[in-house]
Amino acid sequence: MKKLSFLVSLITEDNDYQRLQAASAEQAAQRLGADITVIFAGNDSIRQSEQLLQAIQSPASRPSAIVFEPAGTAMAQAARAAAAAGIGWAVLNKEADYIHELRGKCKVPVFSIGSDHNEIGRIQGEQLGVLLPQGGLVLYIQGPAGSAAADQRATGMNRTKPVNIELRMIRGNWTKESGYNAASAWLRLSTSRTVPIATATAGVVEAVRGTPENPMTRDEVVAKCRDLMTPVLGAAPTTSLIEKILGLESVKSIRELRPLLQRT
């Protein structure tokens, strides 16, 4: 049986989420014993189209299937060329109206898969309400213009955002650097006299505080433990338990911790 090979085409290498997608694809291919090539379009739909057509039209390096996230349109021309050449075709995070047509004509797998961006936006709106229960001004950095995902998230967010939260919406490219530059440029405007209470960036993936990539300090860990444990154990037992844990190497028996773990 011929070894399967996949071409994964993603939008940009500058986006944390895109890099995570690439890494996940490479891990999956290694686990399945398949060959994989990951390419990035640099946020350029024309470049992406040229990359895909080159791969499709090269018999020597033609992949078994192409998985791609469009930098612009869903690439109907490239999709038809791939299916005609016997190459499987999967579209990520984009509606493609040609899917049904190609499924009826071709024997290779053709499908699309995506996230519910409206629901993601609704979650963002609810998060804003939790962050700012008294209301306030939020600088909301969307994805790039023309991005259906960015527009759908904004629509969902506006549906659940509390009415006492005012938004200033600007565009970015879903990268940490782009978000920083967009926020900095907005704050330099003469019309930006009111500083937002919070900034929401839609689509930037960063390491959550407390993970190995973004660890908490010892004081932060202790403070979080106090917040969570004091309502259950009481202030004094919580302090004693924290001290015991921090000096665990000197504890002769783990049984010494048992009385401190019981509600007073």
pLDDT the model gives residue 114: 86
DSSP-derived pairing of the beta strands 136-142 and 110-113: unpaired
pLDDT at residue number 204: 52
Q: Please state whether beta strands 65-68 and 5-10 pair in parallel, antiparallel, or not at all (unpaired).
A: parallel
What's the CATH superfamily of 117-201?
Answer: Response regulator (3.40.50.2300)
pLDDT at 264: 65
**Per this entry, what is the length of the chain?**
264
CATH fold group of domain 5-113: Rossmann fold (3.40.50)
Tokens coding 103: 């499924």
The SS3 of residue 78 is helix
Q: Which two tokens stand for residue 44?
A: 């350029």
Query: Within the chain, which residues score under 50 in pLDDT?
Result: none
Do residues 16 and 206 make contact, with C-beta atoms less than 8 angstroms apart? Answer: yes
Please spell the DSSP secondary structure of 209-222, one letter per residue: TTBTTBPPPHHHHH
What lies within 8 Å, CB to CB, of 181 at 6+ separation is 172
Residue with tokens 């908490």: 216
Q: What is the pLDDT of residue 100?
A: 93
Q: Give the pLDDT confidence score for residue 108 in this predicted structure.
A: 94
Strand 136-142: give its sheet, edge to edge.
Answer: 165-171, 136-142, 198-201
Backbone angle region of 153, left / alpha / beta, with phi > 0 → left and psi within -120 to 50 → alpha? alpha
Residue 190's pLDDT is 59
Q: Where are the domains of the chain?
A: 5-113, 117-201, 218-261
Domains 5-113 and 117-201 share a fold: yes
Measured between alpha carbons, how far is 48 from 43 in angstroms, rounded to an integer?
Answer: 8
Phi, psi at 50, each rounded to 5°: -65, -40
